[in-house]
Structure 1
């Protein structure tokens, strides 16, 4: 292990891609030839396409690939979908596909967008009388909106725009801290750039008008704008997805006793509703499905993750995103989550595989995509809980993970064929696979 500090560099961003790579190889790698070969192996042979990828972010040296899988047989509001999923974790796509097929035979999924309101805030410091600030805000609220006319005209033409602006007093939590809390409708765009541009104009108008307001003294005129930025917490941009059927209809090959299964399944959800240690893992499984579709469609899965987990904590304790009831012989399982997604702009119009995924989903609107993503999360959670409350999670997961283990040991195609056949009737564990490979190789 190196104990000295690695070399630093000035002007790295100004180097060409090949110069960046050579500096990295010289500084950090002992086998430079192998590292160079690896980096170059993942370049796209289509130079135009590679240039497009290079320009997505800064300081690019190569491409980092994730598998793009498909989960077919999703029936959502009577429409059939094959759902694209970009993810590296084994068993996720399989579980989603299995859940989709299970519910296909029981009426499919129902989904509904409840609201599409997005949020942005101007955070500022004001040292003065709050009643004066309220009066000032009421006087200039219409100007805050009118000064953004150049920014909002195209969005308004499509039916979106600024919904409202509120003044919020946060000075009890942080001295002299206040907000302009704005809500927006951005239609099929995720809308981050639109919202942030509007917020920055609000801030400029707000600060300039304060200097002219006769009701303020000198100190009160000196409003300090701290920052203007959208929020990824969108509790009023909500979608609901659900499945339901009579309890006896749950009966299948691996659910011989549907009444027992339904009760145990409901208990598993109830545990996640009240136990944060379980809820985190429970919701992580939901996000396996959600993130995979969000990533495949060129949306921001980090923003979705942050907003969803904040929503899971909205009542003061981290809790399950899904819920289950058994009532009058009916089993119902549903999810309600905030999702700010877009189907136009950003990577949706640039990345070739995002375009492919959008066409695969029949060119959805933002509302359509919200429904598909919510259903993917619900399906993933159903699959996980079904396994947990019946066979256990490892049986199915390890069988799907088998190929990863075989690839770690560089198994040949013939060895893979023999070992896959062997583990059809044997329990898959890492040590069992190692033993089987050793025995096969003598």
Structure 2
């Protein structure tokens, strides 16, 4: 019978594993063996990984792949991608090679403004609150001087603070809405530290404000936290060429390809059910690079999906047009990324990934990540409107199926040869594998 445990975080790693193995696994010995199998043989490196989070018992590996041949603003990149989905790196690489022959990708950062908010409740005269805010605003900024000093030296820091009335959404609810430029840092800790100081200064100032009644002085700070929705931290990536250059598929003319491609994007704009899957394909590329470079893919996901709903309905993140014989395909998304701080200077593979990308600034990384998302989406839509998505995806998934079946290297080669010119289905792979095994008995 399972029982709660007290003080789990205080147990040694060996003790944690022993407790888990004893309470949650039928084969205790096998569970311990699997857990320890993924430990790094370098004790120092393993200790580094152990200290990234609490209650670490082992490492969880994801493949670290590379998509080469990306031409971005005239520079050639091999893009690191970290994920488990079988066809993503292959699709991104194929899209990179396709557009390498057609002028490559263009990308630009449109803005880098990040947001943080102090959420508070105020029960009183709104005009008094406005006057108080205008009086104390310089002090809000001044009292963060110690926090912002180094950031300001590099050209970043607090951009502005405004008072926002949200009482139409929630009774007595207001915000201090602050904007920041954190340069090459993602900036979460910097922003949150500033916000907490804003809140302290604001509340103490309110308590001393002679214009307020006693009730008005009692401002309730609910929370101080950055927002992962950064609609003014934007990057754009695009590809374009003459329609006649869209000529690699012999089964469809360039004109028909362009028309079907634009219609596919239009459908993703109009139909949320399609848009979710469409954007998931975009995020296959984005998340893989964000993870490989040690950034927060959960924050990126949340912000981008919110942006996809900014007009009141969930819609496509990508856009396509054909005008005057020119095919254009682009994406414009919010991305708050960092190339300093966090794991970027700690995780050896993150450092390697950033070096592979020529040690980019945060602005350059924004462009690279946006391009990866655009490339992945192009590859997916291209497959959907021509051969269908399953042909390429299942071909890549073939090795996963064979590994699940316990195939030998020779068996993998033989089954792969069978499906060289055939569509891969799970049932057909099992059938051919079983036939092969029967013949060798």
Shift of 1:254: 4.7
Contact 1:255–1:261 under 8 Å retained in 2: no
Work out which of the residue numbers 33, 39, 42 in structure 2 matches 1:43. Answer: 39
Q: 1:266 aligned to 262, 268, 276, which one? A: 262
Give runs of aligned pairs for residues 205-224 of structure 1, distance below 5 A. 205-224=201-220
1:256 is displaced (CA, Å) by 4.2
- The match for 1:367 is 363
Give the structure 1 partner of residue 233 of structure 2: 237
Q: Indicate if the aligned counterparts of 2:252 and 2:386 stay in contact, CA closer than 8 A.
A: no
How many angstroms does 1:255 deviate by? 5.9
Specify the alignment match of 1:95 in structure 2: 91
Structure 2 match to 1:310: 306
Residue number in structure 2 paired with 1:257: 253
Secondary structure at the counterpart of residue 155 of structure 2: coil
User: 1:253 Cα deviation (Å)?
Assistant: 3.8
Equivalence for 2:165? 169
Partner deviation per Cα, 1:204-238 (whole Å, 9 max, x = no partner):
00000001111100000000000000000000000
Displacement of 1:426: 1.8
Q: Match of 1:343?
A: 339
Q: In structure 2, what is the Cα distance between the partners aligned to 1:178 and 1:188?
A: 31
Aligned mates of 1:339, 1:177 — CA distance in 2: 28
1:81 aligns with 2:77: yes
Which position in structure 2 is the counterpart of 1:328? Answer: 324
Structure 2 residue aligned with 1:387: 383
Give CA deviations for 1:76-134 in whole Å, capped at 9, x if unaligned: 00000000000000000000000000000000000000000000000000000000000
> For the structure 1 residues 111 and 255, does the alpha-carbon distance in structure 2 shift closer, same or farther, using more than 3 Å as the test?
farther
For 2:169 and 2:28, how far apart are their aligned partners in 1?
A: 54
Aligned to 2:103: 107
Compute the displacement of 1:412 (Å). Answer: 0.1
Q: Deviations over 1:35-82 (max 9, x none)?
A: 000000000000000000000000000000000000000000000000
Does residue 283 of structure 1 match 2:285? no
The residue aligned with 1:156 is 152
* TM-score in terms of structure 2 length: 0.99
In structure 2, how many angstroms separate the alpha carbons of the residues matched to 1:28 and 1:84?
36
Select the residue among 15, 23, 43 that pairs with 2:19. 23
| 1:161-182 deviation line (CA, Å, top 9, x unaligned) | 0000000000111000000000
- List per-residue Cα deviations over 1:282-330 (Å, max 9, x = no partner): 0000000000000000000000000000000000000000000100000
2:426 to 419, 426, 430: 430
- 1:153-202 alpha-carbon deviations (Å, 9 max, x no partner): 00000000000000000011100000000000000000000000000000
3-state SS of the aligned residue for 1:441? helix
- Map 1:176-195; keep pairs closer than 5 Å: 176-195=172-191
Q: Distance in 2 between matches of 1:384 and 1:254?
A: 18
For residues 268 and 86 of structure 1, the distance between their equivalents in structure 2, rounded to whole angstroms, comes to 28
Displacement, 1:203?
0.1
Superposition CA RMSD, Å: 0.6
Partner of 1:225: 221
Distance 2:72 2:368 in 1: 7
Cα distance in 2, alignment partners of residues 39 and 140 from structure 1: 55
1:255 and 1:39 map into 2 onto residues whose CA distance is 50
Contact 1:74–1:82 (8 Å) recurs in 2: yes
SS at match of 1:316: coil
- Runs of 5+ consecutive residues of structure 2 not aligned to the other structure: none
Q: Structure 1: how far apart are the matches of 2:422 and 2:331?
A: 36
SS of residue paired to 1:162: strand
Alignment partner of 1:11 out of 4, 7, 17: 7
| Aligned match for 1:404, one of 400, 403, 417 | 400
Unaligned runs of 5+ in 1: none
**What is the total number of aligned residue pairs between the two structures?**
438
Matched, 1:70 2:70: no
